[in-house]
Structure 1
Amino acid sequence: MAEASNFELVQIVAVLGAGVVAAPLFKRAGFGSVLGYLAAGLAIGPFGLKVISAPEAVLHFAELGVVMFLFVIGLEMKPQRLWSLRREIFGLGFAQVAVCGALLTGLGLLAGLAPAVAFLAAMGFVLSSTAAIIQILDEAGETATPAGQRAVSILLLEDLAIVPLLALVALLAPASGGSGGADWQAIGIAVGAVAVVVAAGRWLLNPLFALLSAARAREIMTAAALTVVLGTALLMQLSGLSMAMGAFLAGVLLSGSTFRHQLEADIEPFRGLLLGLFFMAVGMSLNLTVVMADWRIVALAVVGYMVVKAIGIFVIALMFGADRREALYRAALFAQGGEFAFVLYGAAAAVGIFDARTNAVMSTTVILSMVLTPLTVIAARRLLPPEKVDLDGVEAPDGLSGSVLVVGFGRFGQVASQTFLARGLEVTIIDNDPEMIRAAAKFGFKIYYGDGTNLDVLHASGAGGARAIAICVDKREAANKIVALAQETFPNAGVLVRAYDRGHALELINLNVDFQMRETLESALAFGRGALEYLGLSPEEAQETVDDVRRRDKERLCLEQTSGFYAGLDLLHGTGPKPEPFTRPRHAAQPLNPAADAIAGDAIAAEQR
């Protein structure tokens, strides 16, 4: 008993350890965490180190990660928002599934497969991996973009498609003695299950969570959140529908709940862990025996299915108004099979439509396509031209002039520009965000589109005749580049810069800019003054304290210019033991090296800002 228990513990540690090592390494290398998890699963699976001998059991359990993923997506999709995407879901999504399914079925028939086998093999491959695509979009920050929302819409339709496809498996079964008519009892059960979930979401869940939150026990709320997700998924599965779609529906119904953010926070750790386990289980399931025995068939199937599906996706994307770049990127993203293929192929094998070899070859084809997807996406991102900027209603600078040139009109530049405009100065403003420029126009601002790191743009914006160039961009590297261009090309203009943090401020001082200001310094001091007054100090006492902090900060900054990042620590009001004075060796007493010292100073980053 003890030996069995120890072996199970070894397996758990091996799975967790492989994921912990592989995912960050692959992500740092630019391949993404999905490929890392797949590689880790292959390494510890039956065809690697053999730590895990039954990947099917792990895969079945890890599918809960996909379920929780769709629940979290549902929490972000309010019914009104979902309704606004109806064209993308039922138009674009249906068109992509139908066209790609037809093309891949034709490919299967050309390869000599029986019609039923060719159709189900094609439709299984059409259902792209929701988990892989959402993870890739999420890591790249593309989920909330219009293109990302269209991708999510297609995935929702594909998840819905598994229901009628499983029904078709029963109809296509060679041993089926049915009449081919609709199973009205099954349909009624499915509709009833959906109705139960909708009713519970509208009238039961909010009062339930309100009651549980009154107990003020975090573990009870977490258990309730898991119960809702898994219970809804189980109900949908028992009624013949998709577990993932059940979880998504529960998420949508709770998207307007006051407990939405709490639910998301409770589910997130389980979602991330189980989703990583799912990808590892897919890697474990890669049957290298099948690959080696039928490598020609598998290779042709992977290449043929991925290329033909990509062509279908590209054509449909163009037909629905996507530009060429988005169409190619979507083709690279979706040109793979997904987790629902295993469900469909397993059902087909159970009723005799697929023989064992066909099932193994098609499952291996899907797994290999999932492994290749992160690589195709990386290639697409590197090879495709940059996304075209929509400049409709946006004007580029040309022959402008003004006393002050403001580069960057974000939250900092907007406030800073008010001081110039209040004194009647002639101000020219440029920014490289068309959406922000259009929004600013509604408030009476004329902003020109231009990248301040481009010397031609600075010339066109009137930097040559400006008395001051106010650099208000939020990216440190871009600010430094503009500083260099301004100092070299426009020496008569004062260079005023928004500093990102203390390390950046020291860089700017060493670059001899005319004025620099840390972006959060004055607002934080004003906040502190207001807090002290709230706590009972008189306005005079509060101001005196703030003036003392500002004086100490300036002294530290002067010391740091000559003695390094840790000079003047005794000027800080700390919460821990008094730090020992930091001294550098004589040969090291040089201007700050921000790249090295800023890392060491992360522990006091909040104070520095």
Structure 2
Amino acid sequence: MATEVTAAAGAAAHGGGVPLLSVVVLLAAAVLAVPLFRRLGLGSVLGYLAAGLAIGPFGLGFFHDPQAIIHVAELGVVLFLFVIGLEMQPSRLWAMRGEIFVLGLAQVLLAIAALTCVGLALGFPVAASFVSGTGFVLTSTAIVMQMLAERGEMALPKGRRIIAILLFEDLAIVPLLALVAFLAPGGEEVTLPARLIGIAVGLGCIAALVAAGRYLLNPMFGLLARFGGREVMAAAALLVVLGAALLMQWGGLSMAMGAFLAGVLLSESSFRHQLEADVEPFRGLLLGLFFLGVGMALDLRIIAANWALIAICVPAYMLLKMLVIYTVGRVLRASRAEALERAVLMAQGGEFAFVLYSSAMQFGIISGQDNAVLTAIVIVSMVLTPLMIILHDRLAPKPAPSLDGVEAAEGLEARVLMIGFGRMGQIVSQPLIARGHSISIIESDPQTIRDADEFGFKVWYGDGARLDILHAAGAGNASLIVAVPGDRQAVTRIVALAKHEFPLVPVIARAFDREHARELVEAGADYQLRETLESAFAMGREALLQLGDDPDAVEAVMAEIRGRDMERFQMECVGGIFAGRDLLLGNRRD
């Protein structure tokens, strides 16, 4: 994009306009590709990469310098790490110190050793092999964080462990860059005092950032909240993020690490949520721009000229890295499923590899051609990662739930059979128990059964959507079946099975929405109720009372609204099989 940027500067200098075509093309590519790829189940990252390839130098040719876009869009990664830092209070970060330095160190060192062997096996010098493998060890923070966010795993323990490893890799870039300088021809001339000065500068920048975060940031935001506008608060948030990133860059550290530390320092501030809201739009746009830039940078000419080497190195690097990650995870007591998922998520090279390879080229360890090939290898691995995640999710065996301390439903005899003991089943069971009715409860989630046992509830294990389980649970001898599991399809199947096999036993069921309620009516439910219907009516009634409306008028309008809703529901159901009085009582079927 350097040509476009230069043209823009020239146009601005002569009173011309901004090259809106470039902006429109970038936005259009993202708007068209990302929803399409998400609709196909391929994820937004792959959509951005494909869009970048389409509009880049080897596609439609709208852009000719993707590296310029990547350098600007790296701010998206910086802002992403700032948002993550806002969620990491210092106490939580301190609690993760073992995962950061034990798990992260073990994975990085073993992966470097394994991946260096790839270059050696192909006949490259030791220094070049080391740099090539080490660059691939540094995982893509942008891709992994985006994947964790889309999968909703960022706050889970396994997600936090991945974040800990990424943080260690961010820290590792500093000594690795120093090591590249040492390995360079003549690198031994770098003196010990020079190294110590570099370390001292880095530590000084960290100390300055910590001091500023502790004593300056909160008073500054408090002052701006009193006398500044919303736009000034947003500008201040960006100033803090970019200032911290610049300070760390001056100290020879990672910009992303600086932004993360700034976020951690503000994580206990009363302005945390406001800062997150201000930064979020910029983070999303710049991160998408980063993926677009990576897609543009996929040099098809280099891949075509070196296809054999790339075809060997990409799977070799990715498989060896996955093997190391999986082994380290298992040794440090991660489950097989977690270790495998971590290995697939972190199998690619990352954006820091570009920095390491460029530095190695400047020091003469690798040539310009080697740098281009290695960059292509990393980008190909980035492109393959979303596809590998899709394959993992579809092919990996689902972990079987542990049935320790759980008893199967068999030979049960009770007046009421309740299927499902989640948030709705627990409430429905209370009046039944209070009136002394015998009740058998079956549930398909072992952890829910164990949790219920701690509170004195005896719940049996069984899938109520299976006919054999219904027979074993005593459905044929029950006076009532209550179907309230947390799965919509399961509720419908339970109702249909129960009414077909035990037509004389009344079945009442939980409906998830209006359409589901009609499905349950057609399946034969004697009574169904949308799970949010009565709570919404109660909330609307209370809203009117809080506004000071006359209580009698409130009751009248609520009765009218309830009646209209039930009449509409009656007309929607096939055959109009409801009586008005019964409709007002909650959709009872006669």
Q: Is the contact between residue 482 and residue 509 of structure 2 (CA under 8 Å) also seen in structure 1?
A: yes
Which of 545, 548, 558 pairs up with 2:560?
Answer: 548
- Residue 579 of structure 1 corresponds to none
The residue number in structure 1 matching 2:271 is 259
1:507-564 deviations in whole A, cap 9, x for unaligned? 2223331001111111122222222222223443332332222222222222333599
Could you tell me how far apart the structure 1 residues matched to 2:81 and 2:575 are? 53
Deviation of 1:287 after TM superposition, in Å, equals: 1.3
Gaps of 5+ in 1: 565-609
Could you say which residue in structure 1 is the equivalent of 2:116? 105
What is aligned with 2:129?
118
Distance (whole Å) between structure 2 residues aligned to residue 6 and residue 367 of structure 1: 34
Percent identity reads 55
The alpha-carbon deviation at position 394 of structure 1 amounts to 3.5
**Is the CA contact 1:65–1:273 (under 8 Å) kept in the aligned structure 2?**
yes
* Matched residue, 1:146: 157
Cα distance in 2 for residues equivalent to 1:485 and 1:182 = 78
CA contact (8 A) 2:52 2:296 kept: yes
Aligned residues: 564
Per-residue deviation, 1:122? 0.9
Q: Is 1:28 matched with 2:39?
A: yes
Secondary structure in structure 1 of the residue aligned to 2:19 = helix
| Cα distance per residue 1:166-205 (max 9 Å; x no partner) | 1212222213322356622221221121122222222322
Displacement after TM superposition at 1:144 (Å): 2.6
1:528 is matched with 540
For residues 308-347 of structure 1, what are the structure 2 equivalents within 5 Å?
Answer: 308-347=320-359
Give, in whole Å, the separation in 2 of the partners of 1:217 and 1:563. Answer: 60
Q: CA–CA distance in 1 between the matches of 2:141 and 2:177?
A: 18
**CA deviation profile, 1:38-65 (whole Å, cap 9, x unmatched):** 1111111111111011111100000011
Partner of 1:288: 300
Indicate the SS of the match to 1:88.
helix
Q: Distance in 1 between matches of 2:44 and 2:524?
A: 42
Amino acid at match of 1:161: A
Aligned to 1:485: 497
Q: Deviations over 1:328-358 (max 9, x none)?
A: 2222221110111011111111221121111
User: 2:326, 2:110 → 1: CA distance?
Assistant: 11
Q: Distance in 1 between matches of 2:157 and 2:471?
A: 34
Indicate the SS of the match to 1:313. Answer: helix
Larger mean Cα displacement after TM superposition, 34-43 or 328-337? 328-337
SS in structure 2 at match of 1:361: helix
Please point out which of 376, 385, 394 is paired with 2:388. 376
Separation of aligned partners in 2, 1:416 and 1:220? 51
The alpha carbon displacement at 1:248 in A equals 1.1
CA contact (8 A) 1:73 1:248 kept: yes
**Is 2:15 the partner of 1:15?**
no
Q: Is the 8 A contact 2:496 2:524 kept in 1?
A: no
- Residues 168-247 of structure 1: pairs in structure 2 closer than 5 A: 168-176=179-187, 177-179=189-191, 183-215=195-227, 217-247=229-259
Residue 52 of structure 1: aligned partner: 63
The 8 Å contact of residues 118 and 313 in structure 2, kept in 1 or not, is answered as no
TM-score normalised per structure 1: 0.88
Q: Distance in 2 between matches of 1:112 and 1:242?
A: 32
User: 1:6 Cα shift?
Assistant: 6.5
Q: Which shifted more, 62-71 or 139-148?
A: 139-148
Note closer, same or farther for the CA distance 1:193–1:460 as it changes in structure 2 (3 Å cut): farther
Correspondence list, 1:343-492, <5 A: 343-492=355-504
SS at the partner of 1:265?
A: helix
CA contact (8 A) 2:495 2:524 kept: no
C-alpha spacing 1:561/1:127, structure 2 compared with 1 (3 Å): same
Could you tell me how far 1:471 is from its partner in structure 2? 1.7
User: 2: distance between equivalents of 1:325 and 1:179?
Assistant: 47
- Give 2:580's aligned residue: none
Q: Structure 2 counterpart of 1:257, which letter?
A: S
Alignment of 1:160-175 (within 5 A): 160-175=171-186
CA distance in 2, matches of 1:448, 1:87: 39
Name the CA distance, whole Å, in 2 between partners of 1:219 and 1:459. Answer: 65
- Contact 1:160–1:245 (CA under 8 A) maintained in structure 2: yes
Change (3 A) 1:382 1:192: same
Please state how far the C-alpha of 1:147 moved relative to its aligned partner: 2.3
Counterpart of 1:515 in structure 2 is 527
Provide the rounded CA distance (Å) in 2 between the counterparts of 1:543 and 1:454.
Answer: 43
Rounded to whole Å, the distance in 1 between the matches of 2:228 and 2:479 is 60
Q: Identify if the C-alpha distance between structure 1 residues 413 and 214 changes in structure 2 by more than 3 Å, giving closer, same or farther.
A: farther
Q: What TM-score comes out, normalization by structure 2 length?
A: 0.91
Give, as a single letter, the amino acid of the residue that structure 1 aligns with 2:448: M
- Which string of whole-angstrom CA distances, capped at 9 and with x for unpartnered residues, describes residues 479-519 of structure 1? 21222222223323221111112222222223331001111
Contact 1:175–1:351 (Cα < 8 Å) also in 2? no
Structure 1 residue aligned with 2:51: 40
Q: 1:562 to 1:435 in 2, by over 3 A?
A: closer
The 3 A distance-change label for structure 1 pair 555 and 399 is same
State how far apart, in whole Å, the 2-side matches of 1:519 and 1:381 are. 31
> Which of structure 1's runs of 4+ aligned residues deviate more than 6 A?
none
SS in 2 for 1:183: helix
Q: How does 1:499-510 map to 2 (within 5 A)?
A: 499-510=511-522
Q: Which residue among 128, 147, 150 is the counterpart of 1:136?
A: 147
* TM-aligned CA deviation for residue 365 of structure 1: 0.5
Superposed displacement of residue 152, structure 1: 1.9
Q: Tell me if structure 2 keeps the 8 A contact 1:474–1:500.
A: no
Structure 2, unaligned stretches of length 5 or more?
1-6, 577-590
Q: 2:79 aligns with which of 46, 68, 77?
A: 68
Seen in structure 2, the aligned counterparts of structure 1 residues 447 and 211 have a Cα distance that, compared at 3 Å, is: farther
Residues 21-43 of structure 1 deviation map (CA, whole Å, 9 limit, x = unaligned):
11111111111111111111111
Separation in 1, partners of 2:289, 2:546: 50
Which piece of structure 1 moves more, 240-249 or 510-519?
A: 510-519
Q: Matches of 1:449 and 1:78 in 2, distance apart? A: 39
Instruction: Provide the aligned C-alpha RMSD in A.
Output: 2.1
**In the alignment, structure 1 residue 156 sits paired with structure 2 residue 167:** yes
Q: Distance in 2 between matches of 1:362 and 1:408?
A: 54
1:276-312 CA distance string (max 9 Å, x none): 1111101111111211111111111112111211221
Deviations 1:549-594 (A, max 9, x none): 2222222222333599xxxxxxxxxxxxxxxxxxxxxxxxxxxxxx
**Structure 2 Cα separation of the partners of residues 392 and 234 of structure 1:** 53
Question: What secondary structure, in the 3-state scheme, does the structure 1 residue paired with 2:482 have?
Answer: strand
- Amino acid of the structure 2 residue aligned with 1:365: I
The question of whether the paired residues in 2 share the 8 Å contact of 1:404 and 1:468 is answered with: yes
Assess if the C-alpha contact under 8 Å between 2:449 and 2:459 holds in 1: yes
Change (3 A) 1:214 1:469: farther
Q: Is the contact between residue 126 and residue 337 of structure 1 (CA under 8 Å) also seen in structure 2?
A: yes
Q: Evaluate the alpha carbon distance shift between residue 431 and residue 73 of structure 1 in structure 2; reply closer, same or farther with a 3 A threshold.
A: farther
Q: Is the contact between residue 51 and residue 292 of structure 2 (CA under 8 Å) also seen in structure 1? A: yes
Q: Aligned partners of 1:87 and 1:465: how far apart in 2?
A: 56
Residues 74 and 320 (structure 1), Cα distance of their counterparts in 2 relative to 1, 3 Å cut: same
Distance in 2 between residues matched to 1:88 and 1:490, nearest whole Å: 55
